[in-house]
């Protein structure tokens, strides 16, 4: 419907109108998601100007249809052609509503904008120069999308007509006839697909159009790689179009401790139901190279890669994964079975079954002792493998079983042992539960071992001090607890506290040379720290 304001853009609702002042060029108009550049002057109906990009001398840019501007702009600019100048009249519902935008725009104001559309960057333009354009033919399912370094499976087919987008049914038929291709995102095997696929959902079909940008450069090689190169590299006007369908992907993660790529896990099947937590999980694993080796995951088996212990926690029944490992990341037994000259290993694992352990509150004392012993043994294995963070987690898990018991027990009930944890915990526990000495020894050992693990971590000193303090509540004569707490306090720059802890070690063991050296170091560092603080205060207040 046409009025003095122009054409009603709201299907007769009278909320937004457009009157063309200067016709634009061509027939193309910006699409939702495109970034448009305009000049505008905004006025009230009385002609008073409240805002103008023209006066500022700067083009205004925004993403069309994304709610970044008032509704009248998203509606009106979408109908404009390049070079067009138009007057948009926006009723309050398509402007700033009942509240207005004080102090310049009053409540319930009808606004007018003289808008000139200079250009837009298509959301489909992947290269900012029109060299590669993407158009969605069939939307994918769900919201998940792949990312590097996932393994993806795709189908790609070249179209005879680069200028037309086939209907969805026709496109599906064409692309389904192609052979599937697998590649690793981010590997550079196809920079074009590295660019396109992370924005696609499973089952999505897109049309890619590649066109020349300058003489002799029909399609930049780095964009064409992995899809198609022109039949005639000198054909600077030709275009090529392709259909790409994302069939699916397998999640790939760098699971190495240092994130150095020495352990890359590919989850080839997710399994059914809920994931286990690794505790009591039965996993059939095969570490293969020239000489395959098959074994069952077991917490006390030193030949099991520690990474599988970690990954099993996120695997549901029937889940499968493949771990590609450098020689340094696999157990000695695997390397020895493979022989010399093997520079890469592939470990495949399938979750056959798992049984989640009962909650601590549902366990009797015998069960707590048994499960705590298993977690301590796992911690010992991980500590020996250099995985100190996971080792600390295992010791902390073991201590959770006895949290209530440790809190309620009388101080004189605790064992004075400071054993490092070589015993195997609950192996001999009977149904009536462990003795007080057995239980207390296990708790003390886990505190000490957790402290040792935390001291190996860059940010673990405070937790190490806390673990040692807990151990000392159980056994005030534990040399290891006093010594490790001193080490933690040194790392925290608590030199006076460290000196006191080292002194306690000497009191209990007068021949302890390490403690004597520790006292000297603590005193020396304390002097340096006091001098540093004195100089700092002198600069601040001098």
- 278 Ramachandran zone, left/alpha/beta (phi>0; psi -120 to 50): left
Is 150 among the residues known to form the active site?
A: no
Catalytic residue among 5, 17, 40, 401: 40
- Measured CA to CA, the distance from residue 321 to residue 251 in angstroms comes to 9
Catalytic residue among 17, 60, 94, 96: 96
Is 40 among the residues known to form the active site?
A: yes
- Burial pattern 343-360, b for ≥16 Cβ within 10 A else e, equals eebebbbbbeebeebeeb
Residue ranges in 358-512 assigned as alpha helix (H):
365-384, 388-400, 403-408, 436-455, 461-474, 479-491, 495-508
Q: CA 338 → CA 150, 286, 294, 308, 347, distances in Å? A: 28, 12, 12, 19, 13
Is 96 among the residues known to form the active site?
A: yes
Is 70 among the residues known to form the active site?
A: yes
Query: Phi and psi (nearest 5°) for 492?
Result: -90, 5
Q: Which residues contact 178 (CB under 8 A, 6 or more apart)?
A: 155, 156, 157
Name the burial class of residue 312, with classes exposed (0-12), middle (13-18) and buried (19+) by CB atoms within 10 angstroms of its CB: buried
Is 50 among the residues known to form the active site?
A: yes
Full DSSP string of 366-385: HHHHHHHHHHHHHHHHHHHT
Cα torsion for 391, 392, 394, 397, to the nearest 10°? 180
Catalytic residue among 5, 60, 70, 443: 70
DSSP, collapsed to helix, strand or coil, labels residue 51 as strand
Can you read off the two tokens belonging to residue 540? 């601040």
- Burial pattern 227-264, b for ≥16 Cβ within 10 A else e, equals bbebeeeeeeeebbbbbbbbbebbbbbebbbeeeebbb
Catalytic residue among 8, 51, 176, 419: 51
Q: CA 359 → CA 308, 364, 368, 374, distances in Å? A: 24, 10, 10, 15
Residue 530: CB atoms within 10 Å: 11
Cis amide bond preceding 364, omega within 30: no
Catalytic residue among 8, 20, 50, 118: 50
Can you read off the two tokens belonging to residue 460? 């673990």
Packing angle, helices 388-400 and 436-455, rounded to 10: 150
Can you read off the two tokens belonging to residue 177? 């006839």
Is 412 among the residues known to form the active site?
A: no
Q: Which residues contact 63 (CB under 8 A, 6 or more apart)?
A: 33, 34, 35, 36
Catalytic residue among 113, 401, 483, 502: 113
Catalytic (active-site) positions: 40, 50-51, 70, 96, 113
């Amino acid at each position: 419907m046409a009025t003095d304001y122009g054409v009603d853009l709201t299907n007769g609702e009278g909320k937004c109108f457009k009157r063309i002042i200067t016709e634009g060029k061509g027939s193309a108009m910006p699409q939702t998601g495109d970034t448009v550049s305009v000049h505008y002057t905004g006025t009230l109906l009385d002609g008073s100007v409240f805002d103008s990009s023209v006066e500022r001398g700067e083009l205004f840019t925004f993403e069309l249809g994304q709610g970044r501007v008032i509704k009248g702009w998203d509606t009106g600019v979408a109908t404009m052609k390049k070079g067009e100048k138009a007057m948009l009249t926006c009723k309050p519902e398509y402007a700033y509503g009942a509240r207005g935008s004080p102090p310049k725009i009053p409540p319930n104001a009808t606004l007018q904008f003289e808008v000139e559309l200079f250009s837009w960057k298509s959301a489909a333009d992947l290269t900012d120069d029109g060299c590669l354009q993407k158009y969605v033919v069939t939307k994918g399912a769900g919201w998940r999308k792949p990312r590097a370094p996932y393994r993806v499976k795709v189908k790609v087919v070249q179209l005879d007509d680069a200028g037309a987008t086939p209907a969805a049914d026709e496109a599906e038929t064409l692309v389904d006839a192609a052979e599937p291709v697998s590649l690793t995102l981010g590997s550079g095997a196809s920079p074009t697909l590295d660019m396109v696929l992370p924005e696609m959902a499973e089952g999505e079909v897109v049309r890619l159009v590649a066109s020349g940008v300058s003489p002799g450069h029909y399609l930049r090689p780095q964009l064409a790689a992995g899809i198609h190169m022109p039949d005639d590299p000198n054909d600077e006007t030709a275009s090529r179009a392709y259909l790409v369908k994302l069939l699916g992907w397998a999640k790939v993660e760098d699971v190495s401790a240092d994130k150095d790529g020495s352990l890359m896990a590919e989850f080839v099947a997710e399994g059914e139901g809920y994931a286990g937590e690794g505790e009591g999980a039965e996993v059939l694993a095969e570490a293969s190279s020239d000489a395959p080796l098959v074994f069952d995951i077991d917490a006390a088996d030193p030949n099991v890669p520690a990474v599988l212990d970690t990954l099993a926690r996120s695997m549901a029944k029937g889940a499968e994964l493949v771990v590609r490992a450098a020689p340094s990341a696999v157990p000695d037994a695997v390397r020895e079975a493979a022989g010399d000259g093997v520079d890469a290993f592939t470990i495949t694992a399938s979750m056959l079954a798992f049984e989640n352990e009962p909650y601590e509150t549902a366990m009797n004392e015998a069960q707590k002792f048994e499960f705590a012993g298993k977690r301590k043994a796992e911690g010992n294995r991980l500590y020996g493998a250099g995985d100190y963070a996971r080792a600390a987690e295992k010791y902390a898990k073991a201590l959770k079983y006895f949290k209530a018991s440790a809190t309620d027990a009388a101080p004189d009930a605790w064992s004075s042992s400071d054993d490092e944890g070589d015993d195997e915990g609950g192996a001999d526990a009977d149904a009536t539960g462990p003795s007080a000495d057995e239980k207390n020894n296990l708790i003390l050992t886990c505190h000490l071992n957790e402290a040792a693990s935390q001291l190996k971590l860059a940010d673990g000193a405070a937790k190490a001090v806390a673990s040692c303090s807990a151990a000392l509540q159980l056994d005030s004569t534990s040399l290891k607890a006093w010594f490790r707490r001193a080490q933690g306090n040194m790392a925290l720059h608590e030199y006076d506290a460290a000196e006191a802890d080292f002194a306690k070690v000497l009191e209990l063991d007068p021949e302890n040379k390490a403690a004597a050296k520790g006292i000297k170091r603590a005193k020396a560092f304390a002097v340096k720290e006091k001098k540093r603080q004195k100089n700092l205060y002198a600069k601040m207040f001098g």
